[in-house]
């Protein structure tokens, strides 16, 4: 009997975007409300896992052509670079800077270098989670 | 404020991340690992001289005031250990080039080594007890990778034990920190030291002291808690074993040394007496194991246990001589254990077996190896001009000064058993009739392995002969350990 997964595939396509945008929201809101890089990363990878469930690993790899180990390394480098940057200015390691900017559409916003560090964490979490799931999933 | 303190940690970390790219290119992997370690070593040496000249160096992350941020403290103890770690890592990585095999090299072997070095250096440098836990985890995670990488049957069996015991001890570590935090309310090590002195160590702190001894004892393999070490370590391939034998248990020893000289110093009649007896039993248990086996790896592995006992015996004396001796012996033991595991690795690669009864007559085919082994064995036992002598002498002297006459004599007497255990390898493997062997590596390949090994042994000879030049560094370290106020003042009041 031929199985038909039209419904799960169609739903996954929509739900993927909902989860992914929620992940970005949680990630951006981390400074003032619960959330941050770690949960954001986990949510983003859960969105990708949903795609893996609805389709299969090879299809997802063509949709998102990312090597996850590289993603992990890039995330680590971003985090380290954010932490080490103050050393060049003569400040202690891990000093963070922030300022207020007036951005178009959003208005007055505070931008903080902790955000860059969180980006690193986000990428590492996505990279590690997806590496684990992919390697176990592909194991024969 | 001094970012310099961080370089020996950041450089290996950075190179570890860079090496995650270009997984298949051997030249990139080897060159990157070597470059990273050499740069880190250079920074560690200049840090060592800076500490010698200007005293304790510290850095609090993000420029926060002292007890509130994470402080990294590089005093003489940590600077010496960091330098030794990087020096040995260079030679062990060099040794790996020709021994670990390309399959492993292409599967994140060097990134794991760099992460283990990051963790070890971080644990030696940190001035925050929870941060120490985090660095312990960094080095443990990387060591899990290294012990299991390759996936042979023995490695899988050994790594299960190793991971299980370390997960349990890490959980205990978190619980111990939670208790300490509940009593003291601070995680900064200098601040904890001040606050324990203020409340004059009530009984609950003594309980926490014993809990810390259990935690670090599991990592350092002291007497009742060393049971996991022989089987787990025997599973690792020779270069990994050299790295583990030289560095990992020493981190536990350092942690005991630090907590027992900085935190728990007000009820020494109980805590240090316990440490003294445990270290004596550790030496005894190690000696029994080292003499019982006919397996070259096991003999040297049990010698790790003995050395841990000797160092902690020096720490338990709580006087400057004993602590200075412990420092001397700790550095000596890191160097000599790396050398011995590298030598034993070569013997195993040459004969294809770890069983002493199946070896013999290696002196005829490789006399240089034999003589270098003999020097390393004498160095381990502490024959005067060589490296083990000064440390053990000072430890025994410290023991006599503290009035522990019989146990000090016991420590001295066990040197003979140590010598016997390693000389047995010499007698069985190098003397006698040549026996049929199935070498794992060819003669040309083992010759390449011999160069880094020989250099490490030469370093150990220089360490013994040049003890006079090292004494100022070691006496600074001994003073610092014996008098916690130097450390506390440097962290909380300096700059």
Q: Cα-atom radius of gyration of chain A, to the nearest Å? A: 18
CB B310 within 8 A of CB B395: yes
Write down the pLDDT at residue A79. Answer: 94
Rounded distance, CA B288 to CA B298, Å? 11
Residues of A in contact with B57 (CB under 8 A): none
Write down the pLDDT at residue A98. Answer: 86
Write down the pLDDT at residue B441. Answer: 84
A109 CB within 8 Å of a chain B CB: no
Rounded distance, CA B94 to CA B111, Å? 15
A132 CB within 8 Å of a chain B CB: no
Write down the pLDDT at residue B1. Answer: 53
Write down the pLDDT at residue A3. Answer: 80
- Which chain B residue is nearest to residue A113, measuring alpha carbons? B62
Nearest to B14 among A70, A80, A95 (CB): A80
CB B205 within 8 A of CB B183: yes
What lies within 8 Å, CB to CB, of A55 at 6+ separation is A9, A12, A63
Neighbours of B280 (CB within 10 A): 23
Task: Sort residue B200 into left (φ over 0), alpha (ψ -120 to 50) or beta.
Answer: left
Q: Which residues pair with A100 in a beta bridge?
A: A110
Rounded distance, CA B333 to CA A105, Å? 64
**B432: DSSP letter:** S
Write down the pLDDT at residue A140. Answer: 64
What is the phi/psi pair of residue B270, to 5°? -95, -60
Residues of B in contact with A80 (CB under 8 A): 10, 13-14, 17
Do A72 and B62 make contact, defined as CB atoms within 8 angstroms? no
Do A95 and B20 make contact, defined as CB atoms within 8 angstroms? no
Nearest C-alpha neighbor of A79 from the set A125, A135, A48: A125
Residues of B in contact with A69 (CB under 8 A): 20, 23
Do B10 and A84 make contact, defined as CB atoms within 8 angstroms? yes
pTM of this prediction? 0.94
- Which chain A residue is nearest to residue B14, measuring alpha carbons? A77
Do A73 and B62 make contact, defined as CB atoms within 8 angstroms? no
HEC letters along chain A: CCCCCHHHHHHHHHHHHHHHHHHHHHHHHHHCCCCCHHHHHHHHHHHHHHHHHHCCHHHHHHHCCCCHHHHHHHHHHHHHHHHHHHHHHCCCCCCCCEEEEEECCCEEEEEECHHHHHHHHHHHHHHHHHHHHHHHHHCC
Rounded distance, CA B469 to CA B461, Å? 13
For the stretch B19-37, pLDDT in tens is 998 888 999 999 999 999 9
CB B27 within 8 A of CB B97: no
Which of A:37-76 have CB within 8 Å of B?
69-70, 72-73, 76
Question: What's the pLDDT band for A77 if we cut at 50, 70, 90?
Answer: very high
Going residue by residue through chain B, which has 495 residues, state the pLDDT in tens, using 9 for 90 and above: 578 899 999 999 999 999 998 888 999 999 999 999 999 999 999 999 999 998 899 999 888 888 898 999 999 999 999 999 999 999 999 999 988 888 898 999 999 999 999 999 999 999 999 999 999 999 999 999 999 998 889 899 999 999 999 999 999 999 999 999 999 999 999 999 999 999 988 999 999 999 999 999 999 999 889 999 998 999 899 999 999 999 999 999 999 999 999 999 998 899 999 999 999 999 999 999 999 999 999 999 999 999 999 999 999 998 999 999 999 999 999 999 999 999 999 999 988 888 888 888 888 888 999 999 999 999 999 888 888 899 999 999 999 999 889 999 999 999 999 999 999 999 999 988 888 888 888 888 888 899 999 999 999 999 999 989 999 999 999 999 999 999 999 898 765
Rounded distance, CA B29 to CA B32, Å? 5
């Amino acid at each position: 009997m031929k199985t038909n997964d039209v419904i799960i595939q169609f739903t996954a396509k929509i739900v993927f975007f909902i989860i992914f945008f929620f992940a970005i929201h949680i990630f951006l809101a981390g400074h003032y409300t619960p959330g941050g890089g770690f949960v954001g990363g986990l949510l983003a990878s859960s969105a990708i896992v949903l795609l893996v469930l609805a389709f299969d690993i090879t299809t997802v790899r063509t949709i998102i052509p990312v090597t996850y180990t590289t993603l992990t390394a890039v995330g680590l480098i971003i985090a380290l670079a954010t932490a080490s940057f103050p050393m060049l200015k003569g400040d202690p390691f891990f000093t963070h800077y922030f300022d207020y900017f007036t951005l178009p559409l959003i208005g007055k916003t505070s931008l903080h270098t902790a955000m860059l560090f969180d980006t690193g964490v986000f990428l590492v979490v996505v990279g590690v989670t997806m590496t684990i799931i992919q390697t176990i999933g592909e194991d024969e | 404020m001094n970012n310099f303190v961080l370089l020996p940690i950041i450089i290996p970390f950075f190179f570890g991340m860079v090496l995650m790219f270009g997984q298949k290119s051997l030249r990139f992997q080897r060159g990157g690992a070597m470059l990273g370690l050499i740069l880190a070593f250079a920074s560690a040496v200049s840090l060592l001289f800076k500490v010698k000249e200007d005293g304790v160096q510290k850095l609090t992350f993000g420029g926060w005031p002292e007890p509130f941020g994470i402080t990294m403290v590089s005093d003489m103890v940590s600077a010496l250990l960091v330098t030794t770690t990087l020096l040995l890592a260079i030679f062990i990585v060099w040794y790996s080039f020709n021994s670990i095999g390309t399959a492993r090299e292409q599967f994140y072997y060097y990134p794991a080594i760099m992460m283990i070095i990051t963790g070890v250096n971080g644990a030696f440098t940190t001035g925050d007890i929870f941060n120490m836990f985090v660095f312990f985890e960094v080095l443990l995670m990387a060591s899990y990778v290294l012990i299991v990488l390759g996936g042979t049957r023995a490695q899988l069996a050994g790594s299960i034990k190793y991971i299980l015991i370390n997960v349990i001890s890490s959980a205990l570590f978190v619980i111990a920190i939670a208790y300490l935090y509940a009593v003291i309310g601070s995680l900064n090590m200098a601040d904890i030291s001040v606050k324990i002195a203020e409340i004059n160590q009530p009984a609950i702190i003594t309980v926490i002291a014993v809990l810390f001894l259990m935690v670090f004892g599991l990592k350092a393999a002291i007497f009742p808690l060393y049971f996991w070490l022989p089987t787990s370590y025997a599973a690792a391939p020779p270069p990994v074993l050299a790295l583990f034998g030289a560095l990992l248990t020493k981190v536990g020893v350092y942690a005991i040394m630090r907590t027992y000289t900085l935190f728990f110093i007000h009820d020494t009649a109980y805590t240090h007496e316990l440490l003294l007896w445990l270290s004596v039993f550790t030496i005894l248990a190690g000696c029994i194991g080292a003499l019982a086996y006919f397996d070259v790896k096991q003999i040297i592995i049990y010698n790790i246990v003995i050395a841990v006992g000797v160092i902690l015996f020096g720490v338990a004396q709580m006087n400057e001589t004993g602590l200075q001796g412990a420092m001397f012996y700790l550095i000596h033991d890191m160097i000599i254990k790396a050398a011995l595991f590298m030598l034993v690795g070569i013997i195993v690669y040459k004969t294809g077996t770890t069983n002493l009864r199946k070896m013999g007559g290696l002196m005829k085919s490789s006399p240089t190896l034999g003589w270098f082994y003999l020097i390393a064995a004498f160095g381990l036992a502490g024959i005067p001009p060589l490296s083990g002598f000064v440390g053990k002498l000072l430890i025994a002297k410290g023991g006599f000064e503290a009035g522990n006459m019989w146990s000090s004599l016991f420590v001295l007497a066990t040197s003979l058993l140590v010598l016997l255990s390693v000389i047995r390898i010499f007698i069985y493997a190098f003397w006698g009739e040549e026996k049929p062997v199935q070498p794992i590596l060819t003669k040309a390949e083992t010759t390449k392995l011999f160069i880094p090994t020989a250099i490490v042994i030469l370093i150990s000879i220089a360490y013994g002969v040049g003890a006079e030049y090292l004494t100022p560094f070691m006496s600074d370290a001994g003073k610092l350990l014996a008098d916690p106020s130097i450390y506390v003042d440097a962290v909380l009041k300096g700059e």
